């Protein structure tokens, strides 16, 4: 859901209908009905929607919000990382409504980057992520091997060399095959 909300920042590139349909679905299933109703308002006011489509969005919204009030769950808030602001914000917001600071997103969870605890950045693509070292071995964006927490520089170098060697031998194998 957090990742779908990020899409709203790309209205100039992506189709608004795709963006808000996906947000409406994700927020509905995550039971964030406040965000869900905001997505429906966007869908009902799309320039490209026909009168019939608008009517259908309205009907669907009615059937949802007469059963579920358009409210988000009460969850923990975090202070805006702008020291002068510190307005409490939710961890699905991508921007502070008070000071308008924009937050980078974690590329694993979609959460805004609000603290440096467990924060990693990929050595290759520089994208940031909250990573506790459990399951994920490679960067989700560029597939560079991620360093495990506590990995020493020497261990890191050895593992990187092993990864490069493994890659080299498999591509060499492919090349041989092509020249057969």
Binding site for Zn ion (CB under 5 A): 80, 82, 85, 87, 96, 98-99, 101, 122, 124-125, 139, 141-142, 144
Burial 120-152 (b: 16+ CB within 10 A, else e): bbbeeeebbbbbeeeeeeebeeeeebbbeeeee
Instruction: State which residue, 5 or 139, has the beta carbon closest to Zn ion.
Output: 139
Q: Cβ of residue 4: shortest distance to Zn ion, in angstroms?
A: 21
Instruction: State which residue, 42 or 147, has the beta carbon closest to Zn ion.
Output: 147
Nearest to 26 by CA among 60, 1, 61: 1
Instruction: State which residue, 136 or 162, has the beta carbon closest to Zn ion.
Output: 136
Q: Cβ of residue 145: shortest distance to Zn ion, in angstroms?
A: 10
Question: What is the length of the chain?
Answer: 180
Residue with tokens 């506590």, as numbered in its chain: 150
Q: Cβ of residue 96: shortest distance to Zn ion, in angstroms?
A: 3
């Amino acid at each position: 859901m957090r990742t779908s909300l990020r899409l709203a920042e790309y209205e100039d590139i992506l189709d608004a209908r795709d963006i808000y349909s996906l947000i409406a679905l994700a927020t509905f299933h995550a039971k964030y009905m406040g965000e869900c109703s905001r997505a429906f308002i966007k869908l009902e006011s799309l320039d490209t929607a026909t009168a019939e489509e608008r009517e259908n969005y309205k009907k669907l919204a009615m059937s949802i919000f007469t059963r579920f009030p358009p409210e988000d769950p009460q969850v923990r808030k975090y202070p805006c990382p702008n020291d002068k602001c510190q307005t409490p914000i939710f961890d699905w917001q991508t921007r502070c409504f008070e000071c308008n600071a924009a937050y980078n997103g974690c590329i694993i969870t979609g959460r805004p980057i609000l603290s440096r605890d467990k924060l990693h950045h990929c050595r290759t693509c520089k994208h940031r992520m909250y990573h506790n070292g459990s399951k994920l071995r490679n960067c989700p964006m560029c597939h560079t091997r991620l360093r495990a927490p506590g990995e020493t520089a020497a261990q890191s170098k050895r593992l990187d060399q092993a990864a490069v060697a493994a890659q080299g031998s498999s591509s060499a194998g492919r090349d041989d095959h092509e020249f057969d």
